[in-house]
Chains A and B, each alone.
Chain A
């Protein structure tokens, strides 16, 4: 039996996968990590 918690958890996992795919498509050049750990995100 699948309760509501399982559905919400599955939805969170699905959204995470989509976000990762979008991030990978967007990533190019510097600040590709998106963390700004090198300070370039201020540009």
Chain B
């Protein structure tokens, strides 16, 4: 049976607003960033045209050319040429171009026109182009190219009605003759430049705009870095300082719920499971929701304002020193939020060897799941309550340490893999600074917050229930809580692993909490709350710092302090380096094309974390004692 679906592909250079247009036409909320490489996979959605006709929209990855070798360029080329095994050839291609960079963006349009498909050119971001003094002439452009041209402002949803009209059948035919020699790169480039100049006239005296003026400071070899570090510090300081109030609310809610359950139920296993296992364990993780939301808010703000691309530009020189190109920066940057999209974003890297190295080190960029662990341990290290600039500095140092280690390992690994067969070029466009798209930022923040809560309500809840069972069964009738615990599964596991983890400064319970967090690292906080709560009695005056206070008071059987500075440092170091995320390993196996890489990465990172923790504790103990 013939497939009657009308397919329309969105193609264009990176950062032309394709994803914004895709969202505007389909009403979906795909992630939007103000830097290249956000779309590495093909997104598909349904759009409704003016008379209710349904079409399938295919958002292709942004690419500068169809002739490159990177996986994203391959995908775009395959779809446009009808060679993709899952997506049939589109009936129409919407070529999205940034009106401010017409000459350069037209090159891809001309390449697509050579493929003889019906094309509509979408001139996006006309407001910014006109603000910079350009005088646009869409009619002239249409005449020169022989295809319809529609001027729009995707973020403000202006021009969408005209665009939808152009998307109606019958589609404009592919131009019969081209104004340049087909397949000849020089002829194509010359035509593109000439057409671009005709359709977007620059004023005689080019006065520098606000973006240029800002870039003079923000991309300065010295002041650029000062600003970059200042921004990073402000982000970490805010995460520590502003989240206290909402965290207090979550905690009060937690205490209130526990009180309610204790009033309503008689003492027993179920009540214990609900209060200590579920509310106590899951609550210990959920309490970090405000900080996670803030982290994603800042990432969204930096992306959407255009600063993220400047950060990539600043880092490019640094990256080349470790054998990676600037193309590896964006995947690594994404990994600060979550290693999974980071690993997937490596598809934009042309060189297979550079791609493997980037995948290998990406999980060392501290992801948001590590944040709850850091937020628990950093104040313990400094011996104070949460907040303050010193803690923010330490937190920033943790991120820097993970990043630097990743670079050093990348350098070594890159050397071992040998040089590339194909030279890789990094082309990054600096978009103009824009007013942040608040709607998108907040939608993104809510989405990520919801994903975090969903995880807390499923995987983490499950692990907490199992952990409660492991700390309860098998039961022993005794009045001594220590004896009861050592009879349980956790007690036995703790005893068994204590000799292994003790040289790192941890007791069996901390070792067990580490074991429980191998599937998802944030589980560690809830596990510690459960494992160390057992011998404690009810304390009405518990505050937000209760886990920390409890841990700080813990002692070894000989009476010496358990969580000394070297021990907390060793624990921090372990969490900076260990790869405790099963989904990441699954994605690495898929992207690297082999489980060998995923297993190798897991073993290497776990061993590295254990050895680093061992060294830190042993050396630290020598220095502090």
Contact = CB atoms under 8 A, between A and B. Distances in A.
B462 interface: yes
Contacts of B466: 13, 16-17, 20
What size tier do the contact residues of chain A reach? 20 to 34
Contact of B31 (A5, A13, A27, A39): A39
B516 to A, nearest CB: 13
Interface of B: 28, 30-31, 265-266, 268-273, 338, 340-341, 344, 447-448, 451-452, 454-455, 458-459, 462, 465-466, 468-469, 472, 520, 582-583, 586-587, 590
A37 to B, nearest CB: 5
3 A-B pairs with least C-beta separation: A5-B268, A33-B583, A5-B270
Given A36-B451, A37-B340, A3 B268 contact: yes
Contacts of A12: 270, 273, 465
A9 B451 contact: no
Contact of B451 (A13, A20, A28, A37): A37
Contacts of A37: 338, 340, 448, 451-452, 455, 583
A43 to B, nearest CB: 8
A32 B586 contact: yes
Interface string A1-29: 00111101110110011011000000111
Contacts of A32: 582-583, 586-587
Contacts of A13: 465-466, 468-469
19 contacts: A3-B269, A5-B270, A6-B269, A8-B269, A12-B273, A19-B462, A27-B586, A29-B590, A30-B340, A33-B340, A33-B455, A33-B582, A34-B458, A35-B451, A35-B459, A36-B451, A37-B583, A38-B340, A42-B30
Nearest to A30: B587
Interface residues of B: mostly helix, strand, loop or mixed? Answer: helix
Nearest to B271: A5
Contacts of B451: 35-37
A27 B459 CA distance: 13
B270 A36 contact: no
A17 B583 CA distance: 19
Nearest to B266: A5
B477 to A, nearest CB: 10
A38 B341 contact: yes
Nearest to A19: B462
Contacts of B469: 9, 13
A28 to B, nearest CB: 8
A43 B624 CA distance: 53
B586 to A, nearest CB: 5
A29 B598 CA distance: 13
Contacts of B459: 33-35
Contacts of A42: 28, 30
Given A13-B468, A32-B582, 17 more contacts: A4-B270, A5-B268, A9-B272, A10-B269, A12-B270, A13-B465, A13-B469, A16-B465, A16-B466, A27-B586, A33-B340, A34-B458, A37-B338, A37-B451, A38-B340, A38-B341, A38-B344
A18 to B, nearest CB: 11
A39 B583 CA distance: 13
A39 B33 CA distance: 14
Nearest to A27: B586
Nearest to B447: A39
Nearest to B43: A43
A29 B271 CA distance: 38
Contacts of A4: 268, 270
Nearest to B584: A33
Given A8-B270, A30-B590, A35 B465 contact: no
Contact of A35 (B270, B454, B462): B454
Given A9-B273, A19-B462, A30-B590, A36 B31 contact: no
A3 B462 CA distance: 23
Nearest to B590: A29
Contacts of A28: 586
Contacts of B266: 5
